Structure 1
Amino acid sequence: MTGSEGLNLIIGSLAVLVGVMMFWSLPLLQTRKKVNQLPYLSIIIPARNESGRISPLLQSLQNQSFQSFEVLVVDDHSTDHTATIAESFGAKVLQNKAVDSGSGKSMACWHGALHAKGRWLLFLDADTSLMNAESLICLLSFYQQKGAKGILSLQPYHTVHRLYENLSAIFNIIVIVGMNVYSFWGPRFKTAGSFGPCLLCNKEEYLFTGGHQKILGAVLDDLALGQAFMDKNLPVHCMGGKGIVSFRMYPEGIKSLVEGWCKSFAVGSKSTHPFVMLMTIIWISGSFMTTGALISSISANSLTAMILSSTLYLTYVLQTIQFARRCGNFSRYIFLFHPILFLFFSATFVYSLFQTYILRTVKWKGRNIDV
């Protein structure tokens, strides 16, 4: 075994251990059998050209055992049949009046909150869906258990339907890890904010913090809103959505997938704790190191090195599967080729940096958003 092969194996082994510390756990909600009286709820769904994706969410809301809520769909300048579909499910459709670049979703959420009748507000992205009939009551009862204070946000469980959608696996892992609170050290690090696709709060505190109006223009409204609550010393609880809420990301194709991740990753990385960021970099590098060690051992025709490097490579496969399956139903076999997933992530992240710090603008859903 050469020195370079040994170095690759050492760094790869270190990266596996760092990965364990980096993504120690992801807490999930547990269904409670008994709940106290729950207040009336307003469900606010900002929607821009979501005619192809909003129906599963609206159908899942109709299927809930808890029905004491209103559904407000805020149509954010859609050019398709989003409003018509929403009305066919009995939702009340509001028109977002905002026209400023980058303020669309935040202003839509604020507009919906001002028209809300409920004491509690649940913001859901149009591409989400509640996973069973008890999802809503489980979400609400947990918030009640936490004193109905601050924010309860869930990262939806990513459902994959087409092969290319597995390219989002590493992104999903990094999004969750980047919230800072899922490492071995847990709450010792301050959370980076909140998850945006599923976010529950009470209306009084929402208005007290300034809500989405305060963060108009923020590219990452979820992180900014969580920070706004923390600035007022209100708690922010971030949890995994498996069993409660799911989403399917970027079904339109790879172009949409790249645009979607590019608009947020470089900006979002600023909110990640430096130590968590260092662990993330080491873990990502480990994929390439284990691959390099395997290739080198095969080229050198060294049996010992091949056994060690193959074992380490497969360990990385299993670890990445474990992490990814916490986040979504990604195909297990795809992780046999984990270097491709990490390479795609790295290339997209570099492109996101270029858009954010050189071009100073990102594109999403036909809007150019200044960053």
Structure 2
Amino acid sequence: MNGLAVDLVLALLLLLAAVCAQRLVADLRTLPRAGSGPGARPRTVSVVVPARDEAETLPHLLAAVRDQDPAPLEVVVVDDASRDATAEVARTGGAEVVPAGSPPPGWTGKAWACRTGVDATTGDLLLFLDADTVLAADALAGLLDVHARHGGLVSVQPHHAVVRPYEQLSAYFNVVAVMASGAFTRAAGTARQRHVPMAFGPCLLTSRADYEAVGGHAAVRAEILDDAALAAAYDRAGLPVRCAIGGDAVRMRSYPGGLRQLVAGWTKNIASGASSAAPAATAATVGWISAHHAVAVGALGSLVAATTGSGSGLVAGSALLWAVAYVATALHLRWVLRRTGSFRWWAWALFPVPLLAFDLVFARSLALTVVRGSVSWRGRDVPLAEAPEGVG
């Protein structure tokens, strides 16, 4: 096969991977602006915030909740055995504090905290928020508008606020979470949807009636990814699941505690989420990631060959192909990153760097899953799978 034919084949494969991935992010919808919904909105919204060691993040969330129009009926912070001043900070912020206590056998800590919070509320609608989320003043109005249109479970993947340089390494984790969910294809949330829907735990809105009808968190009490399992429960009950990305309305800053916290958090998320993603979306996402690896290796190999005069035989395809592919890959990544987080230019222009970080954390997650069957998070051991016999 001559050089031109090789370039053509490689270009077609890379293009196919990009097109399949683009279908997964074809409808990155955001919440509607205030006043664009269908009529009057109910005001009986109960906010439930499961919190474990969230003294630093809670003030921002509670201040944002107080600014909502319409205002929620009540805000309940469930203190999940925090080792810091979470309860005191929550009370100062105007929330009712409910201690979670020890989860009963078979319950995960977060699922039990959510169930405990629901039992302490009275509103017709339930809004579950992670403590590190921040809402714009019209976010609740937008959530209520979406729920009025679609019913069931409304879920938002928050816009990732990226502050320090090490947080740029979350680039691929954010994009993979959105792509592999399959929640943002044109068919997602419609009758043409062919897979079980996904939900994002940081922001969930549902009616109390629907929540109880599907069994609530009791139905997903043993699931590490309770959000995905809750979405599946709604789907089994014939109730819709509607997802959006945060945009300007819902934001969060993940892992502000340093690189070690970022690695631990994404290790847990990858390990627990791998089996929950839709197969078709997973395959397209893997193809997209593989194409990025090919471009990174091809471009680097071509650069080394051009500057040293050696190693050209180790790289299939021409230097021009890999140069064009590198630019196209970086620009597509830029397009997605700008919609999912506040990532800086180098996260996409130098994409092999965050791609390497993704590889290393993925390898760590795989090793811990296979060898230990668990990972550690916030002082708790999170079981993921059965460890091999005689190991652990």
TM range (shorter): over 0.9
RMSD of aligned C-alpha atoms?
2.3
- The residue that corresponds to 2:162 in the other structure is 160
Residue 113 of structure 1 pairs with residue 118 of structure 2:
yes
The Cα of 1:21 is off from its aligned counterpart by: 2.9
Tell me how far apart the structure 2 counterparts of residues 153 and 181 of structure 1 sit (CA, whole Å). 10
Given the superposition, is the C-alpha separation of residues 68 and 365 from structure 1 closer, same or farther in structure 2, using an over 3 Å criterion?
closer
Q: Tell me, what secondary structure is at the counterpart of 2:247?
A: coil
Q: Which deviates more from structure 2 when the two are superposed, residues 269-278 or residues 16-25?
A: 16-25
The Cα of 1:134 is off from its aligned counterpart by: 1.3
Letter in 1 for 2:53: N
Q: Tell me, what secondary structure is at the counterpart of 2:339?
A: helix
Q: Which deviates more from structure 2 when the two are superposed, residues 82-91 or residues 224-233?
A: 224-233
Q: Tell me, what secondary structure is at the counterpart of 2:199?
A: coil
Residue 28 of structure 1 pairs with residue 30 of structure 2:
yes
Letter in 2 for 1:328: G
The Cα of 1:3 is off from its aligned counterpart by: 8.5
Residue 171 of structure 1 pairs with residue 173 of structure 2:
yes
Q: Tell me, what secondary structure is at the counterpart of 2:275?
A: helix
Q: Tell me, what secondary structure is at the counterpart of 1:323?
A: helix
Residue 330 of structure 1 pairs with residue 330 of structure 2:
no
Residue 238 of structure 1 pairs with residue 251 of structure 2:
no
More relative contact order, 1 or 2 (CA 8 Å, 6+ apart): 1
Match of 1:206 among 211, 214, 217: 211
The Cα of 1:119 is off from its aligned counterpart by: 0.6
The Cα of 1:343 is off from its aligned counterpart by: 2.0
Q: Which deviates more from structure 2 when the two are superposed, residues 7-16 or residues 315-324?
A: 7-16
- The residue that corresponds to 1:369 in the other structure is 382
Tell me how far apart the structure 2 counterparts of residues 101 and 129 of structure 1 sit (CA, whole Å). 31
For 1:65-104, what aligned pairs fall within 5 Å after superposition? 65-99=69-103, 103-104=108-109
Letter in 2 for 1:340: V
Asked if 2 retains the 8 angstrom alpha-carbon contact of 1:9 and 1:290, the reply is no
Asked if 2 retains the 8 angstrom alpha-carbon contact of 1:77 and 1:95, the reply is yes
Residue 257 of structure 1 pairs with residue 262 of structure 2:
yes
The Cα of 1:74 is off from its aligned counterpart by: 0.3
Q: Which deviates more from structure 2 when the two are superposed, residues 286-295 or residues 16-25?
A: 16-25
TM-score (norm 2): 0.87
Residue 196 of structure 1 pairs with residue 196 of structure 2:
no
Q: Tell me, what secondary structure is at the counterpart of 1:213?
A: helix
Tell me how far apart the structure 2 counterparts of residues 309 and 158 of structure 1 sit (CA, whole Å). 30
Q: Which deviates more from structure 2 when the two are superposed, residues 352-361 or residues 167-176?
A: 352-361
Asked if 2 retains the 8 angstrom alpha-carbon contact of 1:101 and 1:367, the reply is no
Tell me how far apart the structure 1 counterparts of residues 149 and 21 of structure 2 sit (CA, whole Å). 32
The Cα of 1:185 is off from its aligned counterpart by: 5.6
Asked if 2 retains the 8 angstrom alpha-carbon contact of 1:5 and 1:296, the reply is no
Q: Tell me, what secondary structure is at the counterpart of 2:181?
A: coil
The Cα of 1:224 is off from its aligned counterpart by: 1.0
Given the superposition, is the C-alpha separation of residues 76 and 319 from structure 1 closer, same or farther in structure 2, using an over 3 Å criterion?
same
- Identity of aligned pairs, percent? 32
CA deviation digits over 1:320-363, x for unaligned, max 9? 11111111111122212211212221221232222223311121
The Cα of 1:32 is off from its aligned counterpart by: 4.3
The Cα of 1:83 is off from its aligned counterpart by: 0.7
- The residue that corresponds to 2:329 in the other structure is 316
Q: Tell me, what secondary structure is at the counterpart of 1:188?
A: coil
Tell me how far apart the structure 2 counterparts of residues 283 and 193 of structure 1 sit (CA, whole Å). 20
- The residue that corresponds to 2:147 in the other structure is 143
Q: Tell me, what secondary structure is at the counterpart of 1:294?
A: helix
Q: How many residues align?
A: 368
Letter in 1 for 2:40: N
Tell me how far apart the structure 1 counterparts of residues 69 and 279 of structure 2 sit (CA, whole Å). 43
The Cα of 1:299 is off from its aligned counterpart by: 3.9
Q: Which deviates more from structure 2 when the two are superposed, residues 255-264 or residues 27-36?
A: 27-36
Q: Tell me, what secondary structure is at the counterpart of 1:27?
A: coil
Asked if 1 retains the 8 angstrom alpha-carbon contact of 2:78 and 2:97, the reply is yes
Given the superposition, is the C-alpha separation of residues 173 and 191 from structure 1 closer, same or farther in structure 2, using an over 3 Å criterion?
farther
Letter in 2 for 1:233: G
Residue 358 of structure 1 pairs with residue 362 of structure 2:
no
Residue 307 of structure 1 pairs with residue 342 of structure 2:
no
- The residue that corresponds to 2:297 in the other structure is 292
The Cα of 1:102 is off from its aligned counterpart by: 6.2
Letter in 2 for 1:265: I
Structure 2 unmatched runs, 5+: 385-392
TM-score (norm 1): 0.92
Q: Which deviates more from structure 2 when the two are superposed, residues 270-279 or residues 81-90?
A: 270-279
